[in-house]
Amino acid sequence: MRLAIIIAICTASTLGGALWYGIYTRLPEIPMDHISQLSAEEYQQGELRAQDAITRRSPRLNSLLQTQDLKQGAPVFIRIFKESKELEIWIQNEIDGKFQYLHTWEIAAMSGHLGPKLAEGDRQAPEGFYYVAQTQMKPDSAYHLAFNIGYPNSYDRAHQRTGSFIMVHGNRVSAGCFAMTDYWIEEIYTLCAQALKGGQPYFRVHIFPFRMTDERLAQETQSKWYNFWKNLQQGYHWFEQKKTPPNVTVQDKLYQFSE
């Protein structure tokens, strides 16, 4: 049996996401780079909180990136798969401009079921094609770190879907958002923030009910969302074939895809 004694001052976020400060003896399963040295007052300043996470997480991320000849600050692309509760990040290769798979993180909490978000308060996580600019980054989030995916988009609005403040965030609590552990959101946030800092004007977030293979979609022919998912599959196949995210527009209430 592994025993550990923790001597710490614990300052929690307003919704229970604890970070540990001060003197500590950490449990073996808690990575050392998750331990913040910020004071409680400093933690309340979002920019300091984000920079602290970036500083602590960059060494491990840089090692991961270097194994694939990628670098921090290059453009990123995110895909989320609700059925398997996975968030994956792809990084653009500066040689040919295509995106390479980097890593998959498990989504810790996600409410709702397969299918799109329809209305404010339905506790449903959306599906579709979104993007995140610098103004949507939330370093001062009550859920540790977060970014707003931009729901509703033009497709959602064309279908009279309502809702707001749909985030990828920490703290493991979800009421329609995609909640990660604080440890994992620090990695995801770092890669995204550094890409924006490096000049990417926005990064795309594509959200699917499941991996949109022909075989998997064939199991859903009786679903009321089958035609919607067939439209999503076009965007999924585009990236699978080209390894560059498509430009996404909306025409006649359908997603359209182009270079």
On whether the CB atoms of residues 54 and 191 are closer than 8 A, the answer is no
Residue 51 and residue 19 in one domain: yes
Task: Please indicate, yes or no, whether residues 86 and 41 belong to a single structural domain of this protein.
Answer: no
Residue 222 and residue 207: Cα distance in Å, rounded? Answer: 21
Whole-angstrom Cα distance, residue 96 to residue 156?
A: 33
How far apart CA 110 and CA 179 sit, in angstroms, is: 6
Is residue 177 among the annotated active site residues?
yes
Same domain, 162 and 253: yes
Judge if 75 and 59 occupy the same domain: no
User: Which run of H or of E encompasses 147?
Assistant: strand 146-148
CATH number of domain containing 131: 2.40.440.10
| DSSP assignments along 170-226, one per residue | STT--SSSEE--HHHHHHHHHHHHHHHHTT-SEEEEEEESS---HHHHGGGTTSTTH
């996401």: which residue's tokens?
A: 17
Q: How far apart, in Å, are the Cα atoms of 73 and each of 49, 94, 149, 169?
A: 19, 11, 20, 20
Dihedral of the alpha carbons of 159, 165, 170, 173, in degrees to the nearest 10: -80
Per the structure, the count of domains in the chain is: 2
pTM of the entire predicted model: 0.86
Helices (H), the chain: 40-43, 46-66, 154-158, 182-197, 214-217, 226-242
In angstroms, rounded to a whole number, what is the distance separating the alpha carbons of residues 112 and 252? 28
> Is 198 in contact with 76 (CB distance < 8 Å)?
no
Question: Tens place of pLDDT for every residue, the chain, 259 residues?
Answer: 333 333 232 333 333 333 332 222 333 344 555 688 888 899 999 999 999 999 999 999 999 999 999 999 999 999 999 999 999 999 999 999 999 999 999 999 998 999 999 999 999 999 999 999 999 999 999 999 999 999 999 999 999 999 999 999 999 888 889 999 999 999 999 999 999 999 999 999 999 999 999 999 999 999 999 999 999 999 999 999 999 999 999 999 999 999 9
Whether residue 46 is found in the same domain as residue 15: yes
User: 29, 44, 65 — which closes off a domain?
Assistant: 65
Residues 60, 81, single domain; the answer is: no
Q: Are 131 and 143 contained in the same domain?
A: yes
In the residue annotation, 237 being an active-site residue is answered as: no
**Domain final residue, candidates 65, 81, 101:** 65
The set of residues, in sequence order, having a beta carbon less than 8 Å from that of 38 and lying 6+ positions away, is 19, 21, 48, 49, 52
Is residue 145 a part of any domain in this protein?
yes
Same domain, 236 and 112: yes
Q: Determine which one of 144, 177, 192, 206 is catalytic.
A: 177
**Residue 2 maps to a domain:** no
Q: Are residues 178 and 195 in the same domain?
A: yes
* Residue 116 domain flag: yes
- The range of the structural domain enclosing residue 187 comes to 69-258
By the 8 A CB rule, do 250 and 256 touch? Answer: yes
**Active-site position among 144, 169, 192, 206:** 169
